[in-house]
């Protein structure tokens, strides 16, 4: 999917780490979503459920 590790995604999801704009773009692209959807319309749990 991306070169972002599962552990890093988990750390983002639980609030242990932030992410760069580049990582946000990679995740949005991998999920087939626009960045505004990730930032405005979905909560963290929905984002990671959509990736499965």
pLDDT digits (tens, 9 = 90+) for 33-52: 889 887 775 566 666 666 66
Q: What is the pTM of this model?
A: 0.63
pLDDT digits (tens, 9 = 90+) for 3-38: 889 999 889 878 888 889 898 898 889 889 889 887
Is there a contact between 40 and 30 (Cβ–Cβ < 8 Å)? no
Angle (CA) 39-4-11 rounded to 5° is: 65
> Is 6 exposed, middle or buried, given 0-12, 13-18 or 19+ CB atoms closer than 10 A?
exposed
| Confidence band for 2, pLDDT divided at 50, 70 and 90 | confident
Ranges of each domain in the chain: 6-50
């Amino acid at each position: 999917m991306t070169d972002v590790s599962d552990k890093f995604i988990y750390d983002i999801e639980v609030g242990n780490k932030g992410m760069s704009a580049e990582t946000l773009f990679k995740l949005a692209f991998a999920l087939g979503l626009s960045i505004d959807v990730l930032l405005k319309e979905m909560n963290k749990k929905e984002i990671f459920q959509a990736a499965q």
